[in-house]
Chain A
Amino acid sequence: MIEVRFHGRGGQGAVTAARMLAEAAFLEGKYAQAFPFFGAERRGAPVVAFARLDTRPVRLRSQIYEPDHVVVLDPTLLRAVNVTEGLKPGGLLVLNARERPGKLEAGRVVWVDATSIAVEEMGAPITNMAMLGAYVRASGEVSLESVLRAVGDYFRGKMGERNLRAIRRAYEEARE
C-alpha cells in the first residue's frame, strides 16, 4: 500500500488532487481511498488531504502518519508546516518551487514551478492539477493517461481542458 499526503492551503484544491489520484488508480483497477484531514477548512489556511493506493481493498480508516509520498502545493508552506513529518525513510517529496530547493529530509525531492503553470494555464494560482502532474511523473504510481482521464471525466468543458494542460505541462517540467 502507498500512502500519500497532500499539503496545500484552503482553496488550492488539495482535497481534489487526492481524489483525482484515487480516481486514476481506480480506473487502473486498483483499490483507492481519498479523504481530507478532518479539520475546519478555511480559505488560505494550511490543509492536508490523503490518498491510499493498493492492489487489495483498503480497510485502514485511520489518518496517515507515515506517508510514503508527500506533495506540497504551496511553496510558503515549507516555512509554516513540517511537511516531511513522518515521511518514510527514502520517501518521495514533490514540491511546488520556482527553483531547485535546498536540502530537505526526504529520499527523493522532485520540484516544479506549479504556481507559474497554474497562472499561465488556468488563470489562477490553483496549483493542484500541476502538482498532480508532477507527482505522477515523480512516483509512477498511476499513468499520465489515467490521471488525464480521471480529471477529464470530473471537470468538463473549458475548465477540464485547462486542468489537463496544467497536468501535462507539469508532467513535462518536473525536475529532480
Chain B
Amino acid sequence: MRRLLNGNEAAALAAKLARVQVVSAYPITPQTVVVETLAKYVADGELEAEFVKVESEHSALSVCLGASATGARAFTATSSQGLMLMSEILYVVSGMRLPVVMANANRSLSAPLSIWNDQQDSLAVRDSGWIQLYCESNQEILDLLLQAFLLAERVSLPAMVCYDGYILSHTAEAVEVPEQAEVDAFLPPYSPSLKLDPDRPLTMGPVGVPEVYMEARYMQHRDTRRAREEFLRVAEEFGRRFGRRYGILEEYRTEGAELLLLTMGSLASTAKEAVDRCRERGEKVGLVKLTLYRPFPDGEVVEALKRAKVVGVLEKDISTGWMGALYTDTVAAFANESRRPLFQNFILGLGSRDVRLEDLEGIIGALRKAAEEGKVGENPRWVGLKGEMVE
C-alpha cells in the first residue's frame, strides 16, 4: 500500500514491520517522531515490544546492547548530540558483535548549537564498527532499515541507517509500505547461536587481554569487510520479494560521463535533477550515489568512478583542518590505481545551508573547468558560503 509518510514515520513503521522486540531511545530533534511513534505503537498494542524509557542516549544504547545479548531484536533511533553520547557504547556493541539496528536522523553537531541537518554526526562515528547505510528518500529509509535488520543479524554486526534530518525526517512523500506477511517472509525472527540465558550461562564482553585483543579486532574487521557481499545478497533477496532493487551504490546517467558527482543521502535527488539539466545541454555528467558507506566499498567505488576525467565529491561534513570523510576514503581507494581521475571535494549543506540546483550547476561548472585545465581548483571548496567569507 502506498502512503504519504515523512522520514521519521517511515523509520518507525520499518521497525514495527521488523517486529522489533526491544526499543530504547531518547527523544532528540529531528528524530523525536520515531520514538514517539514507536511508543504509541507499543501503547496501542500494535507492536509487541518492550519500550524502555531511559534518561539518556548512553543508556538507550546500553539497553539495546543488553537486550540484543539476550537474543532480542533491538532498535534505537537518535541524532547528533545523542549519537555522540552513545559513542562509547557504539564500540562496545560492535565489538560484542551484537546486531542492534539504529535509525540516525542526520543533524549537525554543536557548537554553534544547531538542530539542523548535515552528516557530521554519523561520519564522526564512521570508525565505530557499525555498518552505515545512507538514504536518498523516505522509501529508502523504510527499505534499508528492513534490509539492515537482516544484514546485521547475518553478519553479527550492528547497522546504522542514516537519513538527512528535516530534508527527509520532516518531509512527507509517497512510500510503498509492504504487507506484514511479506516482511515476515523476508525477515525471520532473530535467533542467535549464542545468547545470554540463565539456563545456559556464558560470559559476553569479557576483558580482552593483550593475548587476544588484536585477534578480536582483526576478526571484527575481516567480517565487516565481508558484510559487503552479504549486503548484496540481502539486497538481491529484497529486490526479488519487493521489486525494489538496491545496490552498494547507484549509478545515474554515468554512461560516457567525463564529470562525475559522488555523494550520499538526500542530496542525490536534487543532484539527479542537476545532471538531467546538464545532460540536456549535451554535457557528459553523471552521478554516483553511495548507499553503503561502511564497510567502504572501495572496489565498487573505483569501478564506478575510474573512467571519469574529474570527480566531485559532495559531502555534508568536514574533518576539521583537512577534507571531508567521503573524499579521503574515496581518494584512498584510488591510491594504488595507475589510472585515476582528478578529485575535488565540495563541502556543502552544513547546518542546513540549502543546496540549490544552481549550486550544483556551479559545482559541475568547476569540474568542467578542472577537466579543461587538467587540475582542480580550491580543495576542499566550500559551497554556499556568504560572499564576505570567501578568501
Q: Which residues of A contact B (CB under 8 A)?
A: 19, 22-23, 26, 31-36, 38, 40, 58-63, 65
Q: Judge whether B272 and A58 touch: CB under 8 Å.
A: no
Closest to A154 in B: B4
Known: A26-B4, A34-B4. 5 other contacts (CB 8 A): A32-B172, A33-B173, A61-B269, A63-B354, A65-B356
- Determine whether B130 belongs to the interface, using a CB cutoff of 8 Å to chain A: no
- Determine whether B204 belongs to the interface, using a CB cutoff of 8 Å to chain A: no
A10 to chain B, nearest CB (A): 15
A19 to B5, CA, bound (A): 10
Interface residues of B in 261-302 (CB under 8 A from A): 266-267, 269-270, 272-273
A155 to chain B, nearest CB (A): 15
- Determine whether B93 belongs to the interface, using a CB cutoff of 8 Å to chain A: no
Q: In the complex, how many residues of chain B place their beta carbon closer than 8 angstroms to a beta carbon of chain A?
A: 23
Kindly identify which residue among B4, B170, B272 contacts A59, using a CB–CB cutoff of 8 Å. Answer: B272
Q: Judge whether A22 and B270 touch: CB under 8 Å.
A: no
A31 to B354, CA, bound (A): 22
Q: For B171, list chain A residues within 8 Å (CB).
A: 33-35, 61
A-B pairs with beta carbons under 8 Å apart, 22 shown: A19-B4, A19-B172, A26-B2, A31-B173, A31-B174, A32-B173, A34-B171, A34-B173, A35-B167, A35-B171, A35-B172, A36-B170, A38-B352, A58-B173, A60-B269, A60-B273, A61-B267, A62-B270, A62-B355, A62-B356, A62-B357, A65-B356
- Determine whether B51 belongs to the interface, using a CB cutoff of 8 Å to chain A: no
Q: Which residues of B contact A (CB under 8 A)?
A: 2, 4, 115-117, 166-167, 170-174, 266-267, 269-270, 272-273, 352, 354-357
Q: Judge whether B269 and A59 touch: CB under 8 Å.
A: yes
A33 to B167, CA, bound (A): 11
Q: For A65, list chain B residues within 8 Å (CB).
A: 356
A125 to chain B, nearest CB (A): 25
Q: For B166, list chain A residues within 8 Å (CB).
A: 35-36, 38
Q: For B2, list chain A residues within 8 Å (CB).
A: 26
A35 to B357, CA, bound (A): 18
Q: Judge whether A61 and B172 touch: CB under 8 Å.
A: no
Q: Judge whether B174 and A26 touch: CB under 8 Å.
A: yes
Q: For B167, list chain A residues within 8 Å (CB).
A: 35, 38, 61
Q: Judge whether B4 and A32 touch: CB under 8 Å.
A: yes
Closest to B269 in A: A59
Closest to A62 in B: B356
Kindly identify which residue among A23, A36, A59 contacts B270, using a CB–CB cutoff of 8 Å. Answer: A59
Closest to B271 in A: A59
A19 to chain B, nearest CB (A): 5
A63 to B270, CA, bound (A): 11
Q: Judge whether B172 and A34 touch: CB under 8 Å.
A: yes
Q: Judge whether A38 and B117 touch: CB under 8 Å.
A: yes
Q: For A19, list chain B residues within 8 Å (CB).
A: 4, 172
Closest to A25 in B: B4
Closest to B171 in A: A35
Q: For B170, list chain A residues within 8 Å (CB).
A: 35-36, 38
Q: Judge whether A22 and B4 touch: CB under 8 Å.
A: yes
Q: For B357, list chain A residues within 8 Å (CB).
A: 60, 62
Q: For B355, list chain A residues within 8 Å (CB).
A: 62
A38 to B108, CA, bound (A): 13
B372 to chain A, nearest CB (A): 28
Q: Judge whether A40 and B115 touch: CB under 8 Å.
A: yes
Q: Judge whether A61 and B266 touch: CB under 8 Å.
A: yes
Q: For A61, list chain B residues within 8 Å (CB).
A: 167, 171, 266-267, 269-270
Q: For A23, list chain B residues within 8 Å (CB).
A: 4, 172
